Amino acid sequence: MAASTPAVVVTGIGAATPLGNSFGSIADALADGRSGVGRYDAGTYGRPQEHPAAAVADIPSPPASVVCLPPGDFGRRSRLEQLALGPAAWAIHDAGLELGGQQAPPPDRIGVIAGIGAEQLKDWERDYLDGGHDVFGPANRPTLVQRLAATLGIGGPSTTVAAACASSGFALALARSWLTAGWVDACLVGGCDVLSPTALAAFHNLRALSRREQHPQQASRPFDRDRDGFVMGEGGVFFMLERRADADRRGARCYGELAGVGMSGDASHMVTPCSNPTEAARAI
């Protein structure tokens, strides 16, 4: 008889979101129906352009128990990296798996997976605005996950997943498979993205964004007959995943279980859902 698949649980959470930077603050905001959307000025290219958008007001710096950075180091990193490093470090702290601690697996038994959008987009914008020549040359720069793993001292397998809106979900599915296959004993997994003038302009020109600039908190209404587009946002959330047996052995708190994953593809259109919902239903 085939061995059963080991259960995978969430033992740590770190976040930087428009609704707050902790599990409790985000849960309270959702329960209260509070919106994180406001008026966002994307006018980097010389003219003001306001959109309804959800921006992060405060990105938490990593706790010193996880990584001790030189003064000012965190603030000098790119916004995308801050949205990854801060939450990732807090997820480690929340799980009680600081490297070198008695409960932590060896560094080469911890994985890192990050779901992202256009990773280098903000760098390209900055290069262009600064008059630089590296707009199309990001190959000499370490990737986000490389910098994340190096800063946190994690030596296990690592990768990024860029699958548009499904990036973070795909990353969680991949992390679960690494744990059930025994490739790692813990996996730091999550996603992050930043608001950028280029992305906002692109979706605005596609007429995909809501035009409710004067009432931003009422702009996101996907199931309303008067909907007029979606609202972009930014943030970063990371989870620490472990096999339940390992978490129970060390007495870890478990937020919940990642019980399963469903995937499919309708081979239809890049962004428009297929008129036949069969494949979407199969994934669900």
pLDDT interval class at 271 (50, 70, 90)? confident
CA distances from 270 to 164, 171, 222, 273 (A): 10, 20, 19, 8
User: Structural domains in the chain?
Assistant: 8-17+56-195+234-283 (3.40.47.10)
Give the 3-state secondary structure percentages of the chain, helix then strand then coil, rounded to 5: 35, 20, 45
pLDDT tens digit string along 244-267? 999 999 999 999 999 999 988 888
Measured distance CA(173)–CA(151) in Å, rounded: 24
Dihedral of alpha carbons 69, 74, 75, 76, sign: positive
pLDDT tens digit string along 14-42? 999 999 999 999 999 999 999 999 988 87
pLDDT interval class at 1 (50, 70, 90)? very low
Q: Output the six-digit token pair for 49.
A: 């352009």
Please check the confidence at residue 2 and state whether its pLDDT lies above 60.
Answer: no
Q: What is the pTM of this model?
A: 0.91
Predicted pLDDT of residue 214: 87
